Structures are given as C-alpha cells and as structure tokens.
Chains A and B, each alone.
Chain A
Amino acid sequence: MTGNTDSGDEMRAIEELLPWYAAGTLDAASARRVEEALAREPRLQASLRLVREDKDETLLLNQELGAPSGQAWARVLATTQAEPRKPTLATRLASIAGRAGAWASRRPAGLAWAGAAAAVVIVLQGAAIVSLLPAAIGPAYTTASQPAAPSEGATVIIAFAPDAALQQVGALMQKHKASIVDGPRSGGLFRVRVGDKSMTKDQLDAIVADLRAEAVVRMVLPASDR
C-alpha cells in the first residue's frame, strides 16, 4: 500500500480484470491484486459498480431466452440410435468401479477404503447384474420394438432415469415382481416382464401407471408384441 494512485498501465490492467473479478472467476493472486487496487482507486470502485450492473442485466437477458424444444433431443436420439456402439464388459465394470470409488472417497475414512469398497461393490453389483439380466438377454442395441421370446407374462419397455442406481432398479423389479428380459437396447431401453401370467389390458395399464410414478423410471410403455 503506497498511497499513490496507480499508473495508467496498471489502471488499465486492473480495469481489464474487473469483469472476471465480479464473476468470481479470477485466480486468488489476481483477485488479491484487484482488491488492493480497488482499495486505492475510487475510479475503479465506480467501474466495478458498472461491471456488476452489466453482469446483472446479462444474466437477466440470458435467463429470458428459454430452452430448446423436445425436438432438439429427439434429433440427437434418432441420430445416436442409428450409430450405436456396444459398451464392452470392461467399460461397464470400470463405470461401476468408478462410482464405487466416488462413494467410498466421501466416507470419513477416505481413500483408504475406496479400493476395498469398490471391490466389494463390484462383486455385489456383478451378482445383481447377473440376477437382473437372465440368459434371455440378446444382442445390445437392437430395436426395442423387436418381438421378445414368447412368454406367459406381459412386457413393457422402460427407460430408467439417467442417474438411477442399480440397487434402485433391483428394488423396483422386486416391488413390482418384474424382471428384465432384454436390454439395454438403443436409447437405453429395457424390455421388462411384469406379472407371472397373461393379463388384461386394464391390468397392464395399471402396472404401467404405477411404474410411471416411480422416480427411477423416465419412460414406460407397453411392449407392442403383447
């Protein structure tokens, strides 16, 4: 702190940093430099007030712009369904282990437990996958409306919420006495058998309505082959 006013070059340099200072995106050293200059220079304080005004109006302007229609995602889905890639077993296991690691690292014991927790979760998840995906599973990423193997029960097509955990899906299957007979297919769709025997349309509609109300279910439709 010199008590002197800043040189023109320093003033300009600080002026240029003010927008990022107001947005809170400056690194610590630069933010400190700005704060020290602000304490010395009333002109910079006035400038910062204008920057904050600009920032507030920019936020408002953008927030008024709304969001894209559902068509935008529909186009993405249509294209990506036409270009599917089959996940490998290795990437599936890596994904599960990654989630387990993230979970374990948040525990008080920290990273020391992460490896062991991941291993345990992999074993449990592996068992769960086997129980959820019987031998009836076909090749991934075929068309979801393709007829399933003949069965006594009615089937529905389900897309789970993107953040649904395997345990939640398992609990959902148990609750509704359902089982996954095929999937994931393109678009992350699963074919799920509901009930033990053929049922009326009204009964199936009631089950569909129940499933639709579940938080882990993003979309559910009766399968077209029933």
Chain B
Amino acid sequence: MAVESDDRLIARIRSGDNPALQALYARHHVKVFRFALRLLRNEQTAEDVVSEVFIDVWRNAASFEGRSEASTWLLAIARNKAYSILRKKQEEHLDEQEAAEIEDAADNPEVIMQKKTKGDLLRACLSRLSVEQREVIDLVYYHEKSVEEVALIVGAPVGTVKTRMFHARKRLSELAQAAGIDRGWP
C-alpha cells in the first residue's frame, strides 16, 4: 500500500481529518522531540513542545504552502516554541541572541575529561556547544537539512547559516582539544 505524502496528509488535516494528523504525528514526532530536547535539555518541556507543534498544525494547516518539506515546517514551529521557552527562562537583561550563544555547562571540562572513548568525548563536546551551534549541527547532520532549509528554520540568511556551522565546527574542535583530542583543525 502506497505511503501517503506529507503534503496530502496536511491537505486532509486542513479539512479536519484527525487520523491524518495522527499519521503525520506518527511520522515526525520523534525527530521533533529530539530537536526540541537538544535545545531545551528537559524531556517534559520538549514533550510539551511536541504537543504544541502538532496542535498548531491542526489549527494552522491552511498556512502550510508546500514550498518546503513538511518536516522543515514542523522543525521551524518547534524552534520558535523552544526559543520562546528559553527566552522566558533567561534573565530579563539577556536577549535571545545572547541566550543562544551561551554554551551549556552541563558537562564541564572536568566531566568531559572523565569520558573514556573518543566518541564519548566528542559527544560530550557536542553537548557543550551553545544552543545556536547545537541546533545548526543537528539540523545539518541529523535532520539532513540543506543550507536553504536550515536558513528557513532558523530565520537567517544562507551566508549566516554557513558561517554559523563553520564556527560550530571550530568551537567543537576547540572543546575537543581542551579534552585532549588534537584534531589538527582549524
């Protein structure tokens, strides 16, 4: 039996077809959850974002114009919601740009040094990147989004996306270097 395209499912959702929403949810909820969780670092909050994303899809399916993939649209909604939550959590004087650039301190350098394999170390370093750097790395490598799709999701020009990815990689190498892995780059 043929798999119905995301566009067709969204067309059905537009007309109030709840099973179509369920099918779209089944197809995308895990990736939306993981994207939100990497940004928010809290499972319950990430789960709330997943619910809100698909409720938004139900309410606003008519606004989906099919110019990008449905998964790109879903991730953009998830990002907006996650950043809104992050903004609320920040001190009043901290704006979104600053908040996005702050590195996560969950795994400090001492903790990273205790990791055993090179893979463990690299994953710990990936977790230490700033929210902005984590999101671009995830979108490119895990969600397999093109430069243009990442630009759509994060709402930045293509050139900025490329530069952001370059700096994320550079920062990752610096963190790895500090953890004892000399990658010889940049």
Q: Which residues of A contact B (CB under 8 A)?
A: 12, 15-17, 19-20, 22-27, 46-47, 50-51, 53-62, 65, 67-69, 71-73, 75-77, 79-81, 83-88, 91-92, 94-95, 98-99, 102-103, 106, 141, 159-160, 162-163, 165, 184, 186-188
Contact = CB atoms under 8 A, between A and B. Distances in A.
A94 B172 CA distance: 50
Given A59-B141, A103-B2, A83 B58 contact: yes
Given A16-B163, A23-B141, A25-B145, A57 B34 contact: no
Contact of B58 (A55, A56, A76, A162): A76
B99 interface: no
A20 B146 contact: yes
A17 B173 CA distance: 17
B119 A68 contact: no
Contacts of A67: 29-30, 33
Main secondary structure of the interface of B (DSSP, over half): helix
B137 interface: yes
B165 A16 contact: yes
Given A58-B126, A80-B18, A87-B16, A72 B51 contact: yes
B169 A54 contact: yes
Interface in B41-59: 43, 46-48, 50-51, 54-55, 58-59
A22 B147 CA distance: 13
A187 B20 CA distance: 10
Contacts of B103: none
Interface residues of B, number: 61
B33 A76 contact: no
B126 A76 contact: no
Nearest to A84: B16
A20 to B, nearest CB: 6
9 contacts: A25-B146, A46-B184, A51-B169, A54-B172, A58-B142, A76-B51, A87-B17, A99-B4, A159-B19
A19 B146 contact: no
Contact of A19 (B22, B58, B141): B141
B51 A163 contact: no
Contact of A163 (B1, B46, B48): B1
Interface stretch (B7-15, B80-88, B90-98): B7-15
